[in-house]
């Protein structure tokens, strides 16, 4: 399965194996990687980091028609509350991020010690699972995350972020929870 991604590096720089690389995974917005975290990606680039921003399956350039309005009730009904379907989506997301690490290492010659994960909103929730399984990250940042939203009525234990939190260690992890 193809993953759509954008790779950015600071202007005027060549590939630098020691420059930090960050895989950025967005929240559940219709524009995917091209949407809500655009300022964050630009900030990372201005700070001298290379960034690989990927789309989650069913979002951004990977829209499949599964979601129509991308509102919380649409996402809950058609993706998040369909237990087996959601588990497949979580597994696919984990594979997509792992393959993104492979891409950075093999194509962009990233230093294995300088790859980080940044998840925002749903990307942060997925980050608990992804970084609990994928152990090649040197740092993890999970922003505006929590344990799902009020419209989600249940999920399988294998797709529950709470079951992966302890597995992220010993990777340094920065976590911001925003409660509205």
Tens digits of per-residue pLDDT, 99-149?
999 999 999 999 999 999 999 988 999 999 999 999 999 999 999 776 666
State the Cα–Cα distance between residues 141 and 107, nearest whole angstrom. 24
Question: How many residues are given for the chain?
Answer: 180
Average pLDDT over residues 38-43: 84
Whole-number pLDDT of residue 16: 61
Among 42-46, 81-85, 119-123, 153-157, the range scoring the smallest mean pLDDT is 153-157
* For residue 180, pLDDT beyond 60: no
* For residue 21, pLDDT beyond 80: yes
**DSSP secondary structure string, the chain?**
----EEEE--TT----TTS-EEEEE--S-TTGGGSTTHHHHHHHHHTT-EEEEEPPTTSGGG--SS-SS-SHHHHIIIIIT-HHHHHHHHHHHHHHHHHHHHHHHHTS---GGGEEEEEETHHHHHHHHHHHH----SEEEEEEE-S--TT-----GGG-GGGTGGGSTTS-EEEEE---
Domain boundaries defined on the chain: 5-177
* For residue 88, pLDDT beyond 80: yes
Peptide bond into 170 cis (omega under 30): yes
Confidence of residue 15 (pLDDT cuts 50, 70, 90): low
Whole-number pLDDT of residue 173: 94
Whole-number pLDDT of residue 146: 64
* For residue 179, pLDDT beyond 60: no
Among 100, 76, 55, 66, which residue's Cα sits nearest to residue 150? 76
Q: Average model confidence (pLDDT) for the chain?
A: 88
Whole-number pLDDT of residue 147: 63
Confidence of residue 4 (pLDDT cuts 50, 70, 90): confident
State the Cα–Cα distance between residues 40 and 26, nearest whole angstrom. 10
Among 119, 116, 114, 115, which residue's Cα sits nearest to residue 129? 119
Contact 26, 120 (CB under 8 A): yes
Q: What is the CATH number of domain 5-177?
A: 3.40.50.1820
């Amino acid at each position: 399965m193809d993953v759509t991604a954008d790779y950015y590096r600071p202007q005027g720089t060549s590939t630098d194996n020691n420059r930090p690389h960050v895989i950025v995974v967005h929240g559940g917005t219709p524009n995917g990687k091209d949407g809500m975290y655009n300022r964050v990606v630009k900030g990372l680039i201005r700070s001298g980091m290379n960034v690989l921003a990927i789309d989650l399956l069913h979002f951004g350039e990977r829209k499949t028609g599964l979601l129509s309005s991308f509102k919380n009730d649409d996402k809950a009904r058609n993706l998040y509350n369909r237990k087996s379907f959601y588990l497949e989506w979580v597994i696919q997301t984990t594979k997509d991020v792992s393959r993104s690490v492979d891409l950075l290492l093999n194509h962009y010659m990233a230093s294995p010690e300088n790859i980080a994960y940044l998840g925002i909103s749903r990307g942060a929730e997925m980050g608990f699972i992804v970084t609990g399984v994928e152990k090649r990250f040197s740092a993890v940042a999970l922003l505006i995350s929590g344990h799902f939203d009020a419209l989600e009525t249940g999920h399988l234990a294998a797709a529950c972020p709470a079951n992966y939190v302890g597995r992220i260690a010993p990777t340094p992890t920065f976590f911001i929870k925003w409660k509205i």
